[in-house]
Structure 1
Amino acid sequence: MALFDQEEPALQDITLVPRPRHVRAAGSGTLDLSPGIALRHPAALAGPAGLLRELLADLGVGAGPVPLLLAVDESASTAGEAYRLEVTADQVTLTAAREAAILAGISTLTQLTALAVTAPAAPGPSSSAPSRPVLSAVTIEDAPRFAWRGLSLDVARHFFTVEEVTEVLGLMFDLRLNVLHLHLTDDQGWRLDLPSRPELAERSSGSAVGGGRGGYFTARDYAQIQQAAARRGITVVPEIDVPGHTNAALHAVPALNRSGVAPEAYTGIEVGFSSLDAALPATATFLRDVFTDVGAMTAGPWVHIGGDEPPEMDRAEYAGLMEAAAGEVVAAGKAVVAWQEAARASLPPGSVVQFWQEDEPTEDVVAAIGAGARLLLSPATRAYLDMKYHPGFDLGLEWAGHTELQDAYEWDPAGVVPGVREEDIVGVEAAVFTETLTTREELLVMLLPRLAAVAEVAWSQQSGRDWSGFATRVGALGRVWGRGGLVWHRSPGVAWDRAAEVDEPAHTGREAESGPPSRTA
């Protein structure tokens, strides 16, 4: 079955991102959702059904007579998030074996509806009237290429609120991303209040790059983010970065310093100057308290222990610190995620190693995979969405070069790390670090449209992807972003529909200095 059957005229307006596996016309009719939907579902799908009602109501589709059925079919494919969405002239049916797959199908259905209501009006006397939610009769059978499709969001360099993070979760759901990796700690700030270590948030949450506003999540805030994520089928992975990137911790806990004197709060963007000290008794206690608390507060199965860009230290000392942190995560009942440098240590089987440094040797990474770890791909030149779009762009950094939309799209995860099989790759994750990003609008401009590109890399089969097709489809998606009040960068090579645009913001954030050739994560 072809991915997109171009011989079927009814499919010409199916411009979904990410691209589904199989799409075919289901007759020549259409289905108008304007009268409203009669949603039927088993009790087990009450949560997804409630979300679907809200999303369709935001698009002007309320309750009414049009049948819309959510169905659990135990005989359907049980592979991850596989689903079947069928639109006929009479009704909509979404079928899958698991709730996560139903949610993926809901994302597709709501994107189809959003594209319909934002479609350009046909020329004629009623051309000024708003478009209606009329769907082509179509059958979509879909499943993701990779199980982990993530976004790493840095709230340490500049803090973003619960409301702002929740908006990002909505955007992730629209693109069928399912992991939010929160970079909660760094040299510039500590962003999560922990019951056994209240001094961390009390003393080290008020700072940010350039002296900007600080902030932190209370336990209730963190729970609220996780609840909003879970409702959308998204798992939250918290990152507590050790042993480097720890000035905020050293500032809050003098006993973590060999001198016993806490360093000043840090508001720059240099890296590689702060570290935990394995020789200090306070270090082991700190790791135990922090990762025990974070594990207890986290609903999902993973905790990220960082491990990137350690300052110069003996390999054995670094490995010992990482193994101690990993041990506390396992003791807390969670699985370990760590940046690729942590492959120098002996990680527990089932750990996830996150790859980002394309110019570094990969022997340790390949060895860790051979010992039972899984690989998560975030190659900086493709997936780091804090890189400038082009020279002179007034947000972002450029230590990894410049990343336009086409750069973020045209790569194959299977070819990134030689010697690793595709079945050893757990997924793909975009990352946005916030040295230069201070507002919601600035964050969105760096995410969009590139997050859509990485989402399709993570979801769609390599054989079914091509730049020209994606450029057409993401151009249509821009109408949806405009209707939702989102802002985005008008990348070249895309026919953006300017009728529904929201102006790109004046970038008022402080321009960070270039810094060293480092990711500064």
Structure 2
Amino acid sequence: MPLSVHEPDAATLARSADKAAGELLAPPAPVQLPDVVPAPQRVEPDPAEDWLLSPDAVIVTSADPAALTVAAYLAELLRPATGYPLPVTDTTRPAATGGIALVLTGDDSLKDDASLNDDDGLGAEGYQLAVTRAGVTITAATATGLFHGVQTLRQLLPPTIESAVPVTERWMLPGGTITDAPRFPYRGAMLDVARHFFPVEDVLRVVDHLARYKLNHLHLHLTDDQGWRIAVDSWPRLSTVGGATEVGGGPGGHYTKADYRRIVSYAAARHVTVVPEIDLPGHTNSALVAYPELAPDKVAPPPYTGTEVGFSYVDPADERTYDFITDVLGEVAALTPGPWLHIGGDEAFKVKGEVYTGFVERTQRIVADTGKTVVGWHQLAPAAHVDGRVLQWWGTNGDDPATLEAVRRGARLILSPGNHAYLDMKYAPDTPVGQDWAGLIDVRRAYDWDPGSHVTGVADDAVLGVEAPLWTESVTSLAEIEFMLLPRLPAIAELGWSPRATHDWAGFRDRLAGHGRRWTAAGITFHRAPEVPWPVEGAGSAQPVRPQIPAQPGPDNAPVPSTDNP
């Protein structure tokens, strides 16, 4: 029988959030320069230089197309709540004073490493934001840095800037300077669209949540026992047959190639790289339903709508399996401009020892032939190393000799410890959705660990970054996605972005508290975690009705506006 899935509605989630609010409430306070999440590298407040965004303000940047695109995004972000026109102009036109300037430094010596470890520049993702009475300037070496600076500017405005309708507000920014760059180059979250399928618009909404907190990778878990979610021309039944199920017996679904390109393009415009995962050799029941020739016994299994793991696998002894892998990974790689291709590799309980490592080694070579860098769950560790290989570590005990040995052979790690970063875990025993096999993860548990030293013996420089996975065995809607992501996603984002020296739970929870009003203004569902001192909403606070996600308009969910006629 299909698994019965508890589906709390929005009202249930809201009641749970209100109950969790507890007594840790405080009056709203004006935004201060150090309030940013993730914590910046260096903050130098200057209250004498506060700046007021006025109705005649102009956004000025260079004629560089990428900078103009970021400027247009900023204008679309600020226009709905302010009601101001905020025209965008490049420096070849007359520049108005008292506006917002986005400045590219023209540093062409940048490398792929996004960290800032010296005083020579801002790095590939860094920025400097200066607020004075004369205006605001964001300076960066790349459009990515400008985009991150825009997200910081957004947080320095009053929370009602997130409203989709005009709000009467004094749009004041605190004066001073922020100089900032990330600790780790890879900062991401994973959305499992295989256990439950989510339409494109929901995925785009998740991209916006990542971009808001300077996360730069979206890992899509595209295939599993319950459903195959990406169209493959050479194996069409994967999506039409394998994609027709999901946990609980729902209709499932899949992304066409046009859908996937839309996700990739939307993410890229927000400086987020999509990392597709095709899970192999296990977690493949949906593929075997569609193509029984891939099964060890060549018999099609029944569609699976439960949540058990480890029972399915493609035949590692059949050459047809490797034809399948070559075709599928080749097509997915061709659709994906980012450098990463994730091959899963976990919980293949029936493919053991040398058979498993042989399968992984051959699949790694297939990935290399596509021109991509292989990523896999840390169960890949015993297989031979290939250049650039990345292991995603999801353990709950940092003592892992096999992973340490893989690192010694050249692997790098993405840290996703199940008992800290798995955002499908419940906050508390009464959380209405989620799992608890890795324990309960409240906001403090999500925040209080160090990616740079979490796996015993692995040095900081072998850690590529962090990722927060959201598995969806029990998550069935956008509201539930947001409820599980927020407020824990900003905690993971701070671990990936901020210098370790800034790590401080008391300070973080106070900074995080101000974001509840932002999410409310934006119509975002979130959990009012009792350990966070959420502000009391005053009688005059804006309380807009949560909007439906539009196909086109809106500062976050629209495509980045054209800059042909700024």
TM-score by length of 2: 0.83
Cα distance change of structure 1 residues 272 and 36 upon mapping to structure 2, 3 Å threshold: farther
- The residue number in structure 2 matching 1:308 is 346
Cα distance change of structure 1 residues 284 and 464 upon mapping to structure 2, 3 Å threshold: same
1-structure distance, mates of 2:408, 2:56: 53
2-structure distance, mates of 1:290, 1:390: 40
2-structure distance, mates of 1:410, 1:234: 25
Q: Does 1:330 align with 2:368?
A: yes
- Give how far 1:130 is off: 3.7
2-structure distance, mates of 1:186, 1:144: 33
- Give how far 1:312 is off: 3.0
- The residue number in structure 2 matching 1:234 is 272
Cα distance change of structure 1 residues 369 and 251 upon mapping to structure 2, 3 Å threshold: same
**CA contact under 8 A between 1:21 and 1:460: conserved in structure 2?**
yes
- Give how far 1:13 is off: 5.7
- Give how far 1:195 is off: 1.6
Of 281-290 and 75-84, deviating more is 75-84
Of 9-18 and 77-86, deviating more is 9-18
Cα distance change of structure 1 residues 272 and 28 upon mapping to structure 2, 3 Å threshold: same
Of 66-75 and 203-212, deviating more is 66-75
Q: Does 1:108 align with 2:183?
A: no
Q: Does 1:174 align with 2:212?
A: yes
- Give how far 1:375 is off: 0.8
Please give the secondary structure, in 2, of the residue aligned with 1:304: strand
Q: What are the superposed Cα offsets for residues 443-467 of structure 1, whole Å, 9 maximum, x if unpaired?
A: 1100000001111111111211211
Of 459-468 and 442-451, deviating more is 459-468
**CA contact under 8 A between 2:37 and 2:494: conserved in structure 1?**
yes
1:49-448 alignment to 2 at 5 Å? 49-60=71-82, 61-63=84-86, 66-74=98-106, 77-115=121-159, 117=161, 130-359=168-397, 362-448=400-486
Structure ranking higher on relative contact order (CA contacts 8 Å, 6+ apart): 2
Structure 1: gaps spanning 5 or more residues: 1-8, 120-128, 505-521
Structure 2: gaps spanning 5 or more residues: 1-28, 88-95, 108-119, 547-566
Q: Does 1:19 align with 2:47?
A: no
1-structure distance, mates of 2:452, 2:69: 35
Percent identity among equivalent residues?
42
1-structure distance, mates of 2:349, 2:521: 46
Moved over 4 A (4+): 9-13, 116-119, 500-504
Please give the secondary structure, in 2, of the residue aligned with 1:437: coil
1-structure distance, mates of 2:33, 2:150: 19
**CA contact under 8 A between 2:375 and 2:389: conserved in structure 1?**
yes
Cα distance change of structure 1 residues 13 and 423 upon mapping to structure 2, 3 Å threshold: closer
Please give the secondary structure, in 2, of the residue aligned with 1:293: helix
Q: What are the superposed Cα offsets for residues 483-516 of structure 1, whole Å, 9 maximum, x if unpaired?
A: 0000111111211124267999xxxxxxxxxxxx
Cα distance change of structure 1 residues 229 and 117 upon mapping to structure 2, 3 Å threshold: closer
**CA contact under 8 A between 1:191 and 1:215: conserved in structure 2?**
yes
**CA contact under 8 A between 2:33 and 2:156: conserved in structure 1?**
no
2-structure distance, mates of 1:213, 1:452: 32
Q: Which one of the candidate residues 31, 50, 53 is aligned to 1:33?
A: 53
2-structure distance, mates of 1:435, 1:495: 31
Q: Which one of the candidate residues 469, 476, 490 is aligned to 2:514?
A: 476
Of 53-62 and 96-105, deviating more is 53-62
TM-score by length of 1: 0.90
**CA contact under 8 A between 1:175 and 1:455: conserved in structure 2?**
yes
1-structure distance, mates of 2:468, 2:50: 36
2-structure distance, mates of 1:429, 1:309: 19
1-structure distance, mates of 2:238, 2:208: 30
- The residue number in structure 1 matching 2:527 is 489
Q: Give the counterpart letter for 1:62 in structure 2.
A: P
- Give how far 1:113 is off: 2.2
Q: Give the counterpart letter for 2:42 in structure 1.
A: H
Q: Give the counterpart letter for 1:92 in structure 2.
A: V
**CA contact under 8 A between 2:279 and 2:345: conserved in structure 1?**
yes
Of 408-417 and 495-504, deviating more is 495-504
2-structure distance, mates of 1:26, 1:416: 37
2-structure distance, mates of 1:406, 1:16: 18
Cα distance change of structure 1 residues 11 and 169 upon mapping to structure 2, 3 Å threshold: closer
1-structure distance, mates of 2:168, 2:34: 19
Please give the secondary structure, in 1, of the residue aligned with 2:75: helix
Cα distance change of structure 1 residues 148 and 114 upon mapping to structure 2, 3 Å threshold: farther
- Give how far 1:413 is off: 1.0
1-structure distance, mates of 2:545, 2:445: 24
Q: Give the counterpart letter for 1:263 in structure 2.
A: P
- The residue number in structure 2 matching 1:515 is none
Q: Give the counterpart letter for 2:59 in structure 1.
A: L
- Give how far 1:137 is off: 1.2
2-structure distance, mates of 1:423, 1:158: 36
Q: Does 1:455 align with 2:493?
A: yes
Q: Give the counterpart letter for 1:383 in structure 2.
A: A
**CA contact under 8 A between 2:122 and 2:181: conserved in structure 1?**
no
Cα distance change of structure 1 residues 347 and 13 upon mapping to structure 2, 3 Å threshold: same
**CA contact under 8 A between 1:271 and 1:309: conserved in structure 2?**
yes
1-structure distance, mates of 2:296, 2:419: 37
**CA contact under 8 A between 1:14 and 1:112: conserved in structure 2?**
no
Cα distance change of structure 1 residues 503 and 408 upon mapping to structure 2, 3 Å threshold: farther
2-structure distance, mates of 1:12, 1:258: 61
**CA contact under 8 A between 2:122 and 2:180: conserved in structure 1?**
no
2-structure distance, mates of 1:118, 1:52: 12
2-structure distance, mates of 1:114, 1:235: 29
Of 395-404 and 101-110, deviating more is 101-110
1-structure distance, mates of 2:280, 2:351: 13
- Give how far 1:364 is off: 1.9
Query: How many pairs align?
Result: 487
1-structure distance, mates of 2:249, 2:506: 43
